[in-house]
Structure 1
Amino acid sequence: MYKVYVLKSLTDNFHYIGHTHDLDKRLLEHNHGKVRSTKAHAPYEVIYTEYYQTKSEAQTREYSLKRGKENVWLREKLKSQNLW
C-alpha cells in the first residue's frame, strides 16, 4: 500500500506533499534532515494521508495535489481544520 501524505513543519508555516510506501520511515528521514527539500524546516508532523494500491496511483495523486484545483481543494480542506 502506498501513501500520499502532507507534512506540516513544527517550526514555521512550511508544508510538504509526498508519497511513500513506508510513512513511518519517510517521516524519520524528513525529521532527521535526510531529505534536501525539507531539512531546513524540520521537525514535521503528518497532517493528512491518502492510501493507494499502486505507486503509479500515488504518484499521480501527489502530482495533482501539488497543482491546480486539487491543491486549492487540499489547502481549503486543511485550513478548515486549522492545519494549513
Structure 2
Amino acid sequence: MKQGYVYIMTNKKDGTLYVGVTSNLVRRVYEHKNGLVDGFTKKYNLKQLVYFEVYDDISEAIKQEKQLKAGSRKKKKVELIVSVNESWDDLYGSIT
C-alpha cells in the first residue's frame, strides 16, 4: 500500500487555490515552487503550500482530492486551510 497526500497550494492568503494529490509531497511541492512543471500552478505562480493531509493509502487521497475539487472554494477548501493554518503560512519548511 502506497502512502498518499492531498495538498493545497496558493499564491497569497485568500488567493488562487490548487488542490493536488501525490505520493511524494516534498518532491511535488519542490516542483511547484521551482516552476518545473507547466500547468495551473506555474501559470498562477502558486508556490505556497498552505494545507496537506497524509493518507496510508493513495487511493483514499485520490478520493479526498476529488471531493475537494468538486466542492465550493469558499466553503470547504478555505475552512480546511484555516483549521490548521490560520495565517496561511507556507508549510513547506515543516515537511523538509
TM-score, normalised to structure 1, is 0.76
1: CA distance, partners of 2:34 / 2:4? 22
Q: Which residue of 2 aligns with 1:26?
A: 28
72, 75, 79: which one pairs with 1:72?
Answer: 75
Deviation at 1:55, TM superposition (A): 1.5
2: CA distance, partners of 1:3 / 1:37? 19
Q: Which residue of 1 aligns with 2:16?
A: 14
Residue identity (%): 30
RMSD of aligned alpha carbons: 2.6
1: CA distance, partners of 2:8 / 2:57? 18
Q: Pick the structure with more strand per residue.
A: 1
2: CA distance, partners of 1:18 / 1:57? 13
Q: Which residue of 2 aligns with 1:47?
A: 50
Deviation at 1:61, TM superposition (A): 0.2
TM-score, normalised to structure 2, is 0.68
- Which consecutive unaligned segments of at least 5 residues does structure 1 have? none
- Which consecutive unaligned segments of at least 5 residues does structure 2 have? 89-96
